[in-house]
Structure 1
């Protein structure tokens, strides 16, 4: 059983994502905090995307002039936060310049 508790306010989809990361990697406390904030940003991006899908890319201001839906910026900013969080965790594609990923639970078990 993991010592880390995934926040209950996250969506089921995001909770599953976080649970898989916790299962597959040995996270330290600061990694877990980054994972939680990244998961929150994932939910925020999804919520903003849903708003844009419902309302459209533009809204009219009080003069009737179309302008970008505020959720477009929220979605963009949340997506950037997700990508930065994943990069900080080292969960993106491994490479020479990528930060070291947390060790998997089976690290050292290979002979």
Structure 2
């Protein structure tokens, strides 16, 4: 099974790829494709966040009125796609407890 890290992913996404493969043992082709798709969305989200951080949450339209930066929708959609991919992988994201009940401190 080909589990090489896709070269086009960012350094941060590559680290996530390795961590998720190690932690959850994703080996099937469908799982790897879903993981890659989710991490591509993760990279898109991070790219949009970087531009928004530099340019601000709002921009001026042609009437000099403030409106939401167009990349806020890209960020939102990419986040939704990433979370959908993680959900499709059906990962158990809750940490294992050594005893029943709520985690300590909650």
Is the shorter-chain TM-score for this pair beyond 0.5, marking a shared fold? yes
Q: Unaligned 5+ residue runs, structure 2?
A: 95-106
3-state SS in 2 of match to 1:72: helix
**Residues 1-39 of structure 1: per-residue CA shift (max 9 Å, x gap):** x62222111111110110122223142000000000000
Residue number in structure 2 paired with 1:52: 52
* 1:97 equivalent in structure 2: none
For the residue of structure 2 that corresponds to 1:63, the secondary structure is: coil
Instruction: Indicate conservation of the 8 Å contact 1:48/1:75, yes or no.
Output: yes
Partners of 2:49 and 2:75 within 8 A in 1: yes
Is 2:29 aligned against 1:29? yes
Partner of 2:3: 4
User: How many aligned residue pairs are there?
Assistant: 93
2:71 alignment partner in structure 1: 71
Cα offsets for 1:44-65 (capped at 9, x unmatched) = 1111111111111100112211
2:59 match: secondary structure? strand
Paired residues of 1:38 and 1:82 also in contact (CA < 8 A): yes
d(CA) in 1 for partners of 2:56, 2:46: 15
Runs of 4+ in 1 over 6 A off after TM superposition: none
Unmatched tracts of structure 1, length 5 or more: 95-111
Partners in 2 of 1:10 and 1:26 — Cα distance? 18
Q: Alignment partner of 1:3: what SS?
A: coil
1:17 alignment partner, SS class: helix
Cα pair 1:18 1:35 within 8 Å, conserved: yes
- The two structures have a TM-score, normalised by structure 1, of 0.77
